[in-house]
Each structure stands twice: as structure tokens, then as C-alpha cells.
Copies of this chain bind each other. A is one copy, B any other.
């Protein structure tokens, strides 16, 4: 499955009479950041809008800016040397990517892939500012540390899921999480795509999905799954 890696970027900075970014900032991050910081972000940040399916970061990429999500969702994936994939977690409004921060600050290659799960809007912050703000803005320090904490907890949850749950339970959790992310009981996907995300085979997923349908928990259709009671 080939997805376009094209990304639409709109620059709003330095335009005198049109500041949607400032608006978005205040709406989504006003309660987190002090005014001075909001101002700085507005100065150096770049507004970016990407359609569902676009690849934002590939494994091995050098990353030079970190995102502040405004809306939408981003799927973070891991891949091993054989190309086998595994879904790690999703990012949503108010999130940033701790993995990206570590890449930025350590000037390392990305260890993960990031793909827009829905149409997504975000503000990109250049890496140099991150460090500067760490020294100057208490709210930025808190935000960064809090982001690390959230991400560590997501990783822990991922480990729990893989280590302690059987595939049928992982599948149920996957469907629940996905429905929550897209805020819809109808999940548009294929059995093959789920198999990639959970790192198993399509036949296994079809088998388990059919079992869930027989238990009345979901209803299967071509290219989408309707959640009844999970």
C-alpha cells in the first residue's frame, strides 16, 4: 500500500493582519503556557496541516522540529530490521512527541515512524528554541517533562499489552482505542491493516474478528468494522 508522503504546509508567521495560529495557540495551549511563551511560539512556530495517511517521519530521518498537535491524530509505529511493523501509540490534541524531542535534542535519527491517522493540524517548533525555553519558561519545562512522562506511560501500556495479553484481547483493545481516537464506532480499515499494526497475520485477525462478531461484540463489513459492544 503506497501512501503519498506529500505534506501541505502553510506558513502564517510574520503576516500582520491574519493570525489563525495565535488563535489556535491560545485555544489549545493557553491554559498551559504563559503569555510570553505563547508569544514566542507564535513568532517562531510554523502552522502545518497534513491529510490522513501522510507520512510525517520515517525511521532514520533526522528531525529538526517538534510538533504541538492542534487537532487530528498521529500514529507512532516501530519497525524491526525485517520490516515487521508494530503500532506503539497515538498522539492527539495537546500532545507532542517525546521521541521527536529526544531526536531533536540529541541530534539522533528517529527510531520510529509517524503517520497521520486523521487530517491533522499542528504547530512546528524549531529545535533550537526548545532548549532556550527550557531555561526561560517554567511552563515549558513542565510541559516537556509532562510529555516525557505521558510517553513513558504509553510505552509501559504498550509493553503490558504485548507481554500480558493474548491476541484476541489485544485486538479488542486495538478496536476500542481506535474508535476512541477517531471518535466513531465505525472503524474504516482492513483486516490486513490491523494485522500490520498488531504484528501478526491477516488470517489470524480475520479468525479473531469473526469470533468477536459471533459473540455479538462487533459487526464486520467490507472495509469497515462496526463496534456493537466492546
Contact = CB atoms under 8 A, between A and B. Distances in A.
Interface of A: 78, 80, 82, 84, 86, 88, 98-99, 101-102, 105-106, 111-112, 134-135, 138, 141, 144-146, 148-149, 151-153, 155-156, 158-160, 162-164, 199
A98 B152 contact: yes
Which 8 A-B pairs have CB atoms at the shortest separation, nearest pair first?
A102-B149, A155-B155, A80-B164, A148-B148, A162-B162, A86-B163, A162-B163, A134-B141
28 contacts: A78-B156, A80-B160, A84-B164, A88-B159, A98-B148, A101-B145, A102-B145, A102-B149, A102-B152, A105-B149, A106-B146, A106-B149, A112-B156, A134-B134, A134-B141, A134-B145, A135-B138, A144-B145, A148-B152, A151-B152, A152-B155, A155-B155, A155-B156, A158-B159, A159-B159, A162-B162, A162-B163, A164-B199
Q: Copy number in this complex?
A: 2
A159 B162 contact: yes
Contacts of A149: 102, 105-106
Nearest to A151: B152
A159 B155 contact: yes
Nearest to A157: B111
Nearest to A150: B102
A116 to B, nearest CB: 21
A177 B167 CA distance: 28
